[in-house]
A = this chain, B = another copy of it.
Amino acid sequence: MKITMLAYPGMTPLDLMGPLQTWTFWPGAEVQVVWKHTDPIMTDTGMAVVPTHSFATSFEQPEIVFVPGGTKATFELTQDEETLDFLRTKAKTATWVTSVCTGALVIGAAGLLKGYKATTHWAAKDLLSGYGAEVTDGRYVIDRDRATGGGVTAGIDFGLAMIAEISGEEIAKVAQLAMEYSPKPPFNSGTPEEASAETKKLVLEGFAASSA
């Protein structure tokens, strides 16, 4: 199972790390983290990560292509023809094209979500519909050969779901137990429906600031 995970400067690295760590418990998964080069790339946490491969040296025909999200950097990536071409090329032979959070906007911009049910970060759903996707509620959404996760932390649920979809539930359950994934959020504020109006306002203001 050859997997190509895109990484890029300014990304939200938990979007990537959720499925990446989950897939360390997936027997047979061969994961490459790829960008245009293999120098360290800064993330929106202030910590840099190092791609394992460049576009040029990465898998010729990965079975899974994955794109993580972010804010300003991600919106800029939706205009980056080199990256969009790379994704379109890999998508031709990939079994799955996938994303977490606003990564969906990038595969959308590549034209890879037209007519597909898909999801993204709650605050980016309107943007996603602009790419011809049928925006759908769900922690993750699987529609034929596309799988898209919600915002940031949804990458763990998405990662487990992909293992289950491809290799069966028993393997996914082992990964879940290995990562002690029995989440207990201390508050009930994880969706715009659950959060207070004031909390939602503050998040939207923060996103506007980090997207400018």
Extra inter-chain contacts (8) besides given A176-B195, A183-B183, CB under 8 Å: A12-B21, A14-B18, A47-B52, A157-B185, A164-B186, A164-B187, A173-B189, A177-B200
- The size bracket of the interface on A is 35 or more
* Chain A 93-130 residues near chain B, CB threshold 8 A: 101, 121-122
Q: Is A86 an interface residue (CB 8 A)?
A: no
By beta carbon, the residue of chain B nearest A22 is: B14
A174-B190 CB under 8 A given contacts A49-B49, A179-B14: no
> Footprint of B on A, CB under 8 Å?
12-14, 17-18, 20-21, 24-25, 31, 33, 40, 44-52, 101, 121-122, 139, 150-154, 156-157, 160-161, 164, 169-170, 172-174, 176-187, 189-192, 194-196, 198-200, 202-203, 206-207
A160 to chain B, nearest CB (A): 5
A107 to chain B, nearest CB (A): 18
